[in-house]
Every structure is written in C-alpha cells, then in structure tokens.
Amino acid sequence: MAGDKTAAGQNACPTNRVLIEGVVKVEISKQVKGKICKLALQGKPCSKIQCEDCPDLTWWDVREVLEEAGTSSSRGLMQEISNKLRKAGEKAKKDKKLSDDLSRVHKLARQLYNRGKEDYQKLKKISKAIESW
C-alpha cells in the first residue's frame, strides 16, 4: 500500500489512512497534493491521476484534493461551464441574441477543452521522451 511501487515502477503516492470518528480518513502530504494539482492543471483527468500516479488513493480522494485547492480537472471545468451555460440558456430562451451568444460561448469553451486535451497528449509525449533520454 503506502509507498508501494506501481506496475510501471514509479513510486505510488504515499498516504496514511486514519480512523476518525468511525470513518477512515486519508492523510495526504502537501507534496502529493501539489503533484495532484500540477497534473490536473496539465490536463490529466482525475481518473488517470488516481490510476496511474496515486493508486493508493480513491478517485474521491483525488477529487477532494482538487476541491480543497480550489481547482478542477479540465473535464470538471468543462462540465461546470456547460451546466452554467445550459441553465442560463433555459432562462434566456425568449431572447434569441442572448441564446445565440450563450451557444457561441459554449462552442468556444468546448474548443478550449479539446485543445487542452491535445496539449496534455503532447506534454505526455514530451515527458516520455525526456524520461527515456
């Protein structure tokens, strides 16, 4: 568990599980929290951070770290933007121009999200190239 190595030979995220008031809580170091936030800001999805970089943590642990840091994964941000635009669009159905503007903003947000995914793939290739060098 804590400190184990993953199949790829990388160090897993060291964690301590503590029983608090009958609930198992995870103690995550500042270093690991920083790593999680950095990966999320680079565009890596929470599920991949959990599986590949921190297998000792659950998806919810990773999500909680990002919530505490006041950030989100790219996908989480896109979902939040989409939901807010959808709610605003429902209220603005009578105003055609506003509805069109909201639709345009949604398309732009989707483009940013897709570019972020592409950039993440590029960063991943660059990181692998540097590691193998």
Question: Which neighbouring-strand residues pair with 27?
Answer: 16
Q: Which of 53, 69, 85 is the last residue of a domain?
A: 69
Classify residue 2 by its DSSP letter: T
Do both 60 and 37 map to the same domain? yes
Q: What is the pLDDT of residue 1?
A: 39
Give the predicted TM-score (pTM) of the model: 0.58
> How far is the C-alpha of 48 from the C-alpha of 28, rounded, in Å?
18
Query: What's the pLDDT at 36?
Result: 92
Q: What is the pLDDT of residues 99-124, one digit of tens each?
A: 888 888 888 888 888 888 888 888 88
Check whether residue 56 and residue 79 sit in a common domain. Answer: no
Residue 78 sits in the same domain as residue 59: no
Full domain range(s) for residue 58: 15-69
Instruction: Give tens-digit pLDDT for 23-34.
Output: 667 788 899 999
CB 68 within 8 A of CB 55: no
